[in-house]
Amino acid sequence: MTTVMTNDEEKILSFLITNFQLEASQVDVTTPLFDSGVLDSMGFVELVDFIEREYSVTFSDDELQPEGFGSVSEICKRIASHSG
C-alpha cells in the first residue's frame, strides 16, 4: 500500500534525505528520528532551524520532545497545530 504524503511531509523528508545523506529507503514519515539514529544533536538543531524558518513557527520545549517531534508525521501535526 502506498502512503500518500502531504506537501509538508514531503518537504521535511526531502530536507532530511538531502541534508543528512540518507537513502530514501532509510526514512519515511513514521521513522523514529531519534530512536532509529537518524538525527544527532547537530541534525536536530538544523531540523528545528529549518522548520521554524520555513513555517515561521517557534516550538516550545514541550513540543521539542521525542513524543511530539519524533517523526516527520508528528512534526507535521505540530506545524499544523501552529497554523490552525
Partner 1 sequence: MGVELHTIHSEIYSEAAQFLAQFPNEKRSVGFWRARFDLWWDENAAFSEEYDRGWILRNRDHIVGFMGNIPLEIQFNHSPKKVFSSTTWRVLPEYRKHSMKLMFKFMGNAEDTVLFNTTPNREVRAVLRAFKFELIPAYSRSVTVITINSPRAYQEKLQRLPRFLRPCLAPFQAFTKVLDIDLPRPELQVRSIEHAGEDFDQLWVKTKSVYANTNIRNSRWINWYCNQDNAFQKKLYGCYREEELAGFCITWNPKGNEIRCLDIWSHPEDRLAISALVTKMIQEAQECRATRLFIPHFSRSLEQHLIEKDFGEIRPRERNDFFKMAKSLDWTSDRDSSYFTTAQGDVGL
- Residues binding partner 1 (CB under 8 A): 34-35, 37-45, 48-49, 58, 60-62, 64-66
Please, which residue, 15 or 34, has the CB nearer to partner 1? Answer: 34
Q: Closest separation between CB of residue 40 and partner 1, Å?
A: 4
Residue whose CB is less far from partner 1, 6 or 44: 44
3 state SS for 45-75: HHHHHHHHHHHCCCCCCCCCCHHHHCCHHHH
Residue 63's nearest CA partner among 49, 45, 81 is 81
Q: How far is the CB of 38 from partner 1 (least distance, A)?
A: 7
